[in-house]
């Protein structure tokens, strides 16, 4: 039986950062992971450059059944705290847009940072170590393919179900249920949308077309691009919207976010322009989409021939184009998993289960999910820091 003070299951962003924090406090820490390679999700994030935080991180950037839960951890470990650590390790970085910070070089730099911080505290890694069972007697006892481990504290940092091809599993949720903790229903998020067959036939020739827009879903709105794909809609705005989407909900898309569509159309008509509507729309939208939009609106005509009522209907469609997806693409492509261990079960200060002393849940496995743009890494650092100071 291998004996430690703290066992951390999951050698990803949250798990390694928690192990670093707790081991540097003098705790004997072991990280267990079924993979033989650490930080695989970090390495593919941000196009291989790791969008490691966001300068604009606020509690409102996250979705949870309890929107207040994340406040304590985010306040105690901020983006600037992690930035200082990045600078300490001499990692060059830049702001891409909207407060998103990326490594100038490879995401491997962030993995190396975490590994170095773990080594400072002499945390031990056990990789290729599959969990067989988890129980608690006087201490937590974990049986694995690498033997049995025991410790006073157990931290679950297993992530969610997203991207199973690099090893994601539902182990963290299984552990929670083993100890009778509630789990909020999970779903793929930060993910593209799949359209129904009828809509796919309509938009089949638009694959690759991107439109700057405002996408709204369930009272949340995002100003970024949507992208037509061979299965539906993707692009940053779609991925953001998927975090708030539920089955059957419409997406409402403002295709001309910088202008009042009705005023613009009426002005053009008053000027007596002889152009077809599709050519006028092509001045503001990609031509292929402008042509398809006019076809669907039965408006393949000159603007001068349209009545004020027709113009109003067109303007409403341009400002609020509604489409109902069939589903999201799924966990294979989703960047994160929405839902997870119910925050009502956990201390917001330490991430410890209220009913199971010594059991902690951090990172994506918890029902706290950030928007696209580095927020989920910041939650990993903040929740890991909270637990790392408590175990």
Task: Point out which residues pair with 225 in neighbouring strands.
Answer: 212
What tokens does 214 get? 């405002």
CA proximity to 223, closest of 238, 233, 234, 242: 238
340: CB partners within 8 A, 6+ apart: 160, 172, 173, 183, 184, 186, 361, 364, 365, 366, 367, 368, 369
My answer on whether 150 and 214 are in the same domain is: no
Same domain membership, residue 56 and residue 121? yes
pLDDT, residue 303, reads: 87
Residue ranges of alpha helices (H) inside the chain are 13-23, 40-44, 71-76, 79-88, 108-120, 171-178, 197-203, 236-242, 261-270, 277-281, 287-296, 308-319, 375-388
Domain that holds residue 78: 2-187+334-388
For the cut 90, the answer to whether the pLDDT of residue 302 exceeds it is no
Same domain, 77 and 175: yes
Mean pLDDT of 235-263: 96
Q: What percent of the chain has pLDDT over 70?
A: 100
- Token pair, residue 184, equals 């909020």
Region 367-372: mean pLDDT is 98
Write down which residue in 284, 309, 328 finishes a domain. Answer: 328
Same domain, 122 and 227: no
- Please count the helices (runs of H) and the strands (runs of E) in the chain: 13, 21
Give the number of residues written for the chain: 391
Question: What kind and span of H or E run contains 370?
Answer: strand 369-370
Nearest to 152 by CA among 361, 359, 383, 384: 359
Structure token pair of residue 310:
């027709």
Do 215 and 341 lie in one domain? The reply is no
Per-residue pLDDT reduced to its tens digit, 73-123 = 999 999 999 999 999 999 999 999 999 999 999 999 999 999 999 999 999
14 shares its domain with 144: yes
User: Are residue 220 and residue 312 in the same domain, yes or no?
Assistant: yes
> Residue 275's pLDDT is what?
84
Residues 323 and 380 in one domain: no
pLDDT attached to residue 56: 97
What CATH number does the domain containing 221 carry? 2.40.30.10
Q: With pLDDT > 90 as the criterion, what percentage of the chain qualifies?
A: 93
Q: How confident is the model at residue 281 (pLDDT cuts 50, 70, 90)?
A: very high
User: Tokens for 198?
Assistant: 């009828």
Residues 391, 21 contacting (CB under 8 angstroms): no
Q: Does residue 194 carry a pLDDT above 90?
A: yes
Asked whether the beta carbons of 365 and 172 are under 8 A apart, the reply is: yes
Q: Is the pLDDT of residue 306 over 90?
A: no
Give the pLDDT confidence score for residue 74 in this predicted structure: 98
Q: Are 227 and 340 in the same domain?
A: no
Q: What pLDDT is stored for residue 262 in this prediction?
A: 94
86 and 126 assigned to the same domain:
yes
pLDDT of residue 67: 96
Per-residue model confidence (pLDDT) at position 274: 83
The tokens describing 65, both together, are 């059944």
β-partners of residue 54 are 100
Q: Give yes or no for residue 195 having a pLDDT over 90.
A: yes
202-214 mean pLDDT: 95
End of a domain among 305, 328, 351? 328
Question: How much is the average pLDDT of 201-227?
Answer: 96
Are 177 and 306 within one domain? no
The answer on pLDDT for 386 being more than 90 is yes
pLDDT at 221: 97
Residue with tokens 């988890």: 134
**318-336 pLDDT, tens digit each:** 999 999 999 999 999 999 9
State which of 306, 328, 350 marks the end of a domain.
Answer: 328
CATH code: domain of residue 112: 3.50.50.60
pLDDT attached to residue 101:
98
pLDDT at 273 over 90: no
The pLDDT value recorded for residue 124 is 98
Co-location of 141 and 34 in the same domain: yes
Which residues neighbour 272 within 8 Å (Cβ) at sequence distance 6 or greater?
A: 304
Tally of domains in the chain: 2
For residue 383, what pLDDT band results from cuts at 50, 70 and 90? very high
Q: What is the mean pLDDT of residues 350-368?
A: 98
Beta strands 140-144 and 232-234: pairing type? unpaired
Instruction: Identify the pLDDT of residue 250.
Output: 97
């Amino acid at each position: 039986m291998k004996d430690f003070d703290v066992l951390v299951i999951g050698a990803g962003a949250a798990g390694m950062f928690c192990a670093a924090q707790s081991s540097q406090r003098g705790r004997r820490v072991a990280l267990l992971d079924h993979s033989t390679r650490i930080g695989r999700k970090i390495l593919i994030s941000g196009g291989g450059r790791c969008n490691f935080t966001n300068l604009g991180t606020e509690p409102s950037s996250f979705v949870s059944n309890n929107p207040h839960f994340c406040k304590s951890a985010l306040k105690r470990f901020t983006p600037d705290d992690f930035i200082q650590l990045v600078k300490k390790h001499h990692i060059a970085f830049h702001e891409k847009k909207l407060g998103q910070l990326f490594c100038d070089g490879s995401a491997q730099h962030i993995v190396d940072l975490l590994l170095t911080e773990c080594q400072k505290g002499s945390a031990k890694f056990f990789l290729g170590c599959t969990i067989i069972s988890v129980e608690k007697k006087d201490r937590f006892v974990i049986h694995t393919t690498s033997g049995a481990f025991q410790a006073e504290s157990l931290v679950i940092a297993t992530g969610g179900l997203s991207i199973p091809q690099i090893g994601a599993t539902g182990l963290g949720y299984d552990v929670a249920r083993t100890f009778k903790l509630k789990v909020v229903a999970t779903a793929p998020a930060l993910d593209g949308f799949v359209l129904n067959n009828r809509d796919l036939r309509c938009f089949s020739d638009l694959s690759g077309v991107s439109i700057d827009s405002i996408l709204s879903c369930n009272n949340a709105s995002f100003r970024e691009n949507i992208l037509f794909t061979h299965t539906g809609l993707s692009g940053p705005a779609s991925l953001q919207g998927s975090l708030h989407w539920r089955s059957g909900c419409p997406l409402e898309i403002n295709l001309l976010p910088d202008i009042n569509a009705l005023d613009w159309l009426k002005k053009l008509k008053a000027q007596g322009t002889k152009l077809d509507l599709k050519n006028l729309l092509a001045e503001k939208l990609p031509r292929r989409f402008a042509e398809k939009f006019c076809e669907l609106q039965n408006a393949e005509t000159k603007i001068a021939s349209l009545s004020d009522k027709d113009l109003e209907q067109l303007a409403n469609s341009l400002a609020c184009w509604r489409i109902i997806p069939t589903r999201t693409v799924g966990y294979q492509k989703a960047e994160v998993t929405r839902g997870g261990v119910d925050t009502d079960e956990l201390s917001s200060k330490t991430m410890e289960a209220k009913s199971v002393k010594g059991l902690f849940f951090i990172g994506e496995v918890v029902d706290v999910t950030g928007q696209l743009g580095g927020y989920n890494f910041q939650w990993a650092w903040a929740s890991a820091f909270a637990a790392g100071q408590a175990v």
